[in-house]
């Protein structure tokens, strides 16, 4: 990937024929940080729904689409990339200082996010110009 501070995470899948599949994630193993919080996003009924549109100063996250599909836009302040995600075991590690935007949700899309810390609004950068200033001050 051209974009810094992020990478694809591929979790193991245990197929069990008609009895389904099992996938698991482990902190400090497949997820490169200790997981302190989990949240999920669902009922994305609106075709033009947009989530994200922010970066974090310190928070690390791993985002999975456990049902359906969506597109994630990644921007490190220099390079941009869009990824279409439609597999429950294919996630994206979101490091610090990474502007991310989620769009193109299927109606049945469920996003599961693992985070390295509790929710603190002060960790968010919600203004794109502030984000560029943050990147360039490092």
Q: Which residues are catalytic?
A: 54
Q: Smallest distance, Å, CB 42 to ligand TYD? A: 11
Q: What is the distance, to the nearest Å, from the Cα of residue 77 to the centroid of all Cα atoms in its chain? A: 17
Q: Smallest distance, Å, CB 60 to ligand TYD? A: 13
DSSP conformation class of 121: G
Residues that bind ligand TYD (CB under 6 A): 37, 39, 41, 51-52, 119
Q: What are phi and psi of 89, to 5 degrees?
A: -100, 5
Angle (CA) 7-71-2 rounded to 5° is 35
Q: Which is closer to ligand TYD, CB of 9 or CB of 56?
A: 56
Measured CA to CA, the distance from residue 73 to residue 106 in angstroms comes to 16
Q: Which is closer to ligand TYD, CB of 19 or CB of 45?
A: 45
Q: Smallest distance, Å, CB 5 to ligand TYD? A: 17
Residue 21 DSSP SS3 = strand
């Amino acid at each position: 990937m051209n974009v810094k501070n992020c990478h694809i995470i591929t979790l193991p899948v245990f197929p069990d024929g008609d009895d389904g599949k099992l996938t698991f994630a482990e902190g400090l193993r497949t997820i490169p940080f200790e997981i302190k919080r989990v949240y999920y996003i669902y009922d994305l009924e609106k075709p033009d729904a947009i989530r994200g549109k922010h970066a974090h100063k310190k928070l690390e996250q791993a985002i999975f689409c456990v049902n359906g599909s969506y597109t994630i836009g990644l921007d490190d302040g220099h390079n941009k990339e869009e990824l279409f995600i439609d597999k429950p075991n294919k996630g994206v590690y979101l490091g610090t200082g990474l502007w991310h935007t989620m769009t193109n949700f299927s109606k049945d899309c469920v996003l599961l996010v693992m985070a390295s810390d509790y929710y603190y609004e002060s960790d968010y950068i919600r203004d794109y110009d502030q984000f560029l200033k943050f990147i360039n001050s490092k």
